[in-house]
A and B are shown apart, each in its own frame.
Chain A
Amino acid sequence: MSAHTLRAKRRRSALRTAAFLSPWLVGFGVFFAYPLVSTVYFSLMKYDGFGTPVFRGPGNWAYVFQDYPLFWPALRNTLWLVLVMVTCRVLFGLGIGLLVTRIRTGTGVFRTLFYLPYLAPPVAATLAFVFLLNPGTGPVDSVLEGLGLPAPGWFTDPAWSKPALTALALWGVGDLMVIFMAALLDVPREQYEAAELDGASPWQRFRFVTLPNISPIVMFAVVTGVIQTMQYYTQPLVAGKVASGIIGGSGQQFEPGYPDKSTLTLPQLVYNLGFQRFDYGSASVVALVLFALAMAFTALLMRRRGGLIQAGDRP
């Protein structure tokens, strides 16, 4: 083959690749690269959406970190959610996964029932939980009082609103259940048989056979859980709005975080600063903080051996 035809062939193959990638190339430029650069630009500007942006330098950054009253509560809530909600969800998902692999009778029915709540649309599921956990009329507190137990205020009590959100998150654990179930069924049978011959107790079998085999999946669940927490928006916002009784259209503006900033998360701050206070500069600062956090954990996920990228490469 002559050098000429070889070059033509290469060029044709590059063109072909570009053609197949073209939807994404446009999308990447218009919906990712451009707005990202633009967000960095706005984070240094004073801009309310009208007129021309005025340079403000690090002023927005100082405002967000020092004077904006919602930033640190939101960050503290995020930390709480990462430590408690993510941990509970992973442990519960693993527990349900273990349970489902042991159920011999009616397996399909159990799996379906456990999985269904994951599909409930977030706004609908949140409304349902605000109703179920409503201090006055909700069934949960009725049952607790009937048993002589204290009935918390759930979504109306700053100390209980995040546990209430955690309950909602545990209800929708179906995605983790499926992932853990697949991992548990992949553990080689022989290893259990060998452990049994050695007289291992059920706990020892779990600790020394199951856990080492599924630890990559546990790690995957933890990191994606943290990333999802960075995106946690609809449930805390809707829960706060509905529980507070203030909902758009009534002329009152809802300041997110009800009760007492306890349901604030970082994405809500972007909405509050940008679309309620019309301070696009400071909103962009929070957006960049969120960007940095999300990307840090994504990098962690991608660096792992046998992680996300290699996932499909194995037959």
Chain B
Amino acid sequence: MTQVPDRPTESTPATEAGRTARRRALLEWIAVHSLGVAAALFFTLPFVFVVLTSLMSDQQALTRDLVPDTWEWGNYADVLATPGFLTWWKNTLVYAGLGTVLTVVSSVPVAYALAKFRFRGRSLTLMLVISMMMLPPQVLVIPMYLFWARQLDLSGSLWPLIIPTAFGDAFSIFLLRQFLTTIPDEYLDAARVDGCGELRTLLRVVLPMAKPGIAAVALFQFFSAWNDYFGPQIYASENPAAWTLSYGLESFKGARHTDWNLTMAATVLVMAPVILVFFFAQKAFVEGVTLTGVKG
């Protein structure tokens, strides 16, 4: 729906002041929306060029042309037929899917305790959670690698990345805790008066109210696994059968130095699921981003 402010000429009792005010409003509308279009071009053109290049022929992808002469939809079939690509896809889904479920199950009770229980050391626990959340994963990787590879012999797989999600994820705990503190205590007290234990209160009363928070956490966790590069690089690089999309995508480029068209087609195939999920879950997403920020 477009709402263009009335033109000054169409206005009825046109006093001089009203006319200038309206003209200024129109000019502002034009200025703001021109800037908006310019910004939209900056944000969308990279996608457009990537998609256009992904549809070029091998030769044309090496030229400076911007638009394909012939539209090579077969490039996408070529990428999907690349040995390993579907395995990477499957591995990514296992890592992201299993990791997400385990994260939610293990983080919800912790977040609930931090949000609603009173106990000594609560603020210390919260501070430690935030510290863990802010820690670059490279800081602890040396002992963790030795632990998984030497003691448990699990390198060459994604298990060193999946198993820890069963023990609470700091970012998810923090975000859920932020969400759960906004649920009024009266609801919990009512459940307790009715004779519910804490676990039943959590499952029957809190969980249904916390659905948007849980959805946000699940989405973030899913995407952080989908996007993870460092984890698979450390634990899975030695075994291509365990690679994920994000990790395999780079080697795809390495194996096809000059085939920018196929590399861009693979890039599109890695980006597309994320964007599709976003359109289905837009609200939860934006809510999550706002939750991680601060309300002054």
Contacts and interface: CB of A to CB of B under 8 A. Distances in A.
B209 interface: no
Given A99-B39, A123-B250, A124-B249, A287 B223 contact: no
B267 A127 contact: yes
Contacts of B293: 178-179, 182-183, 217, 220, 311
Contacts of B146: 49, 280
B250 A241 contact: yes
Contact of B250 (A17, A216, A242, A295): A242
Interface in A2-34: 13-14, 16-17, 19-21, 23-24, 26-28, 30-32, 34
A187 to B, nearest CB: 10
B84 to A, nearest CB: 12
Interface in B1-22: 1-4
Given A123-B250, A247-B250, A217 B143 contact: no
Contact of A27 (B39, B123, B164, B180): B164
Interface of B: 1-4, 28-29, 32-33, 35-36, 39-40, 42-44, 46-47, 49-50, 53, 61-64, 66, 106-107, 109-110, 112-115, 117, 119, 123, 125-132, 134-147, 164, 166-168, 173, 177-182, 198, 223, 226-227, 229-230, 233-234, 237, 245-247, 249-251, 253-255, 257, 260, 263-264, 267, 270-271, 274-275, 278, 282, 286, 289-291, 293-296
B283 to A, nearest CB: 12
B270 A35 contact: no
Contact of A270 (B142, B182, B198): B142
B130 A27 contact: no
A60 B136 CA distance: 21
- The 9 A-B residue pairs whose C-beta atoms are closest, nearest first, are A247-B254, A27-B167, A312-B178, A38-B143, A20-B113, A35-B140, A179-B293, A23-B106, A24-B168
Contacts of B46: 117, 128-129, 132, 171
Contacts, number: 302
A123 B229 contact: yes
Given A123-B229, A291-B139, A131 B294 contact: no
30 contacts: A23-B167, A39-B142, A99-B32, A105-B3, A105-B29, A105-B33, A110-B36, A114-B40, A121-B271, A123-B246, A123-B270, A124-B267, A132-B49, A137-B61, A137-B62, A182-B293, A183-B296, A214-B296, A217-B294, A248-B251, A270-B139, A271-B138, A287-B142, A294-B134, A294-B139, A295-B131, A298-B134, A302-B127, A302-B130, A306-B296
Contacts of A211: none
Contacts of A54: none
B110 A23 contact: yes
B57 to A, nearest CB: 14
Contact of A23 (B125, B136, B168, B226): B168
Contact of B132 (A28, A99, A122, A183): A28
Interface of A: 13-14, 16-17, 19-21, 23-24, 26-28, 30-32, 34-36, 38-39, 42, 49, 96, 99-100, 102-106, 110, 112-117, 119-125, 127-129, 131-132, 134, 137, 139, 142, 171, 175, 178-179, 182-183, 186, 213-214, 216-217, 220, 227, 230-231, 233-234, 237-238, 241-242, 245, 247-250, 266-267, 270-271, 274-275, 280, 283-284, 287-288, 290-291, 294-295, 297-298, 301-302, 306-309, 311-315
B144 A35 contact: yes
Contacts of B136: 230-231, 233, 266-267, 290, 294
B167 A14 contact: no
A311 B167 CA distance: 24
A123 B254 contact: no
Contact of B166 (A23, A32, A308, A314): A23
Contacts of A110: 36, 39-40
Contacts of A314: 295
B227 A275 contact: no
A198 to B, nearest CB: 18
B151 to A, nearest CB: 12
A30 B167 contact: yes
Nearest to A143: B66
Nearest to A315: B182
Given A39-B142, A128-B46, 13 more contacts: A24-B110, A24-B167, A117-B47, A121-B227, A132-B46, A139-B64, A171-B46, A183-B296, A233-B229, A271-B234, A287-B139, A297-B134, A306-B296
A190 B79 CA distance: 57
Contacts of B137: 231
A270 B167 contact: no
Contacts of B290: 178-179, 182
B270 A124 contact: yes
Given A23-B166, A99-B35, A275-B234, A39 B2 contact: no
Contacts of A309: 123, 126-127, 130
A249 B53 contact: no
A23 B105 CA distance: 10
Contacts of B107: 23-24
Contact of A34 (B109, B143, B227, B246): B143
B177 A116 contact: no
Contacts of B125: 21, 24
A315 B186 CA distance: 14
Contact of B64 (A38, A124, A142, A220): A142
Contacts of B63: 137
